Structure 1
């Protein structure tokens, strides 16, 4: 069978995971859907061959949330991640990690001093520089993911 959406439906796995959405002809999550894990983590968005892919929103049990691009199951591309304590990162992600240009905003609305904006590598700021175009793109992608999934 082809790679496209073959059917739509719901399935509850033995571990308690629930999925409602599109499936491909090989029985893999493929297209749009909603996945709820036993711990309460919820993902709404795109799937490709069983993995989160494209635009999506994931909300963790502690209240942390990511809205943005996914690839092969990872945060990958542009997006916004909010920690449960209110701190957020707007920018680029690779392989599930903060990696690339972006901006940190603390719960009080400040960005730190000196400003935590620039190039991050494996979640650490390694080179400071202004990057408003990347922050704006991350905000836009986040908004598109939220709109698609609501």
Structure 2
């Protein structure tokens, strides 16, 4: 007996759901969004990137109606891994995310280009800075992952 763990991409197409959600991209044999795709939710939130079993997983870019944006790694629908999040007011966080929250090492840059004083860099837990620490390698990794997510979406 051969068990297929990941059925993979079997077709490409578009679908508009009853709630107004629209999806254009790749699907698996179970009819789930799977592979590369473009998703627009009823509130105007847009996602471009990788999906696994119907959920945003892998590299992607999510843009919100208020102007906020995230570029980076996703896992099971959440911001998870390294990435960059810009708030609508121009403030950004470059670093680590866990379960959709700022969680791990990273750097805050305010809309005026400053990092605050003292510098808002270090270990964040549930969006709060709990320990100051220089982490340039994590910030650089987040910037690289965000760049790769953008580049991947431009090829779609």
Distance across 2 between alignment mates of 1:83 and 1:97: 13
Task: Give the structure 1 partner of residue 39 of structure 2.
Answer: 35
Structure 1 vs Structure 2 CA RMSD = 0.7
The Cα offsets for residues 64-101 of structure 1, whole Å up to 9 and x where unpaired, read as: 00000000000000000000000000000000000000
Which structure 2 segments of 5+ residues have no match? none
Task: Give the structure 2 partner of residue 111 of structure 1.
Answer: 115
Distance across 2 between alignment mates of 1:137 and 1:110: 20
2:100 is matched with which residue: 70, 79, 96?
A: 96
Task: Give the structure 2 partner of residue 15 of structure 1.
Answer: 19
Which structure 1 segments of 5+ residues have no match? none
- SS of match in other structure, 1:111: coil
- SS of match in other structure, 2:140: helix
Instruction: Give, in angstroms, the shift of residue 3 of structure 1.
Output: 1.7
Distance across 2 between alignment mates of 1:12 and 1:98: 32
* TM value normalised by structure 1: 0.99
Task: Give the structure 2 partner of residue 76 of structure 1.
Answer: 80
1:128 is matched with which residue: 120, 129, 132?
A: 132
1:56-71 pair list within 5 angstroms: 56-71=60-75
* TM value normalised by structure 2: 0.95
Distance across 1 between alignment mates of 2:116 and 2:38: 36
Task: Give the structure 2 partner of residue 51 of structure 1.
Answer: 55
Instruction: Give, in angstroms, the shift of residue 62 of structure 1.
Output: 0.1
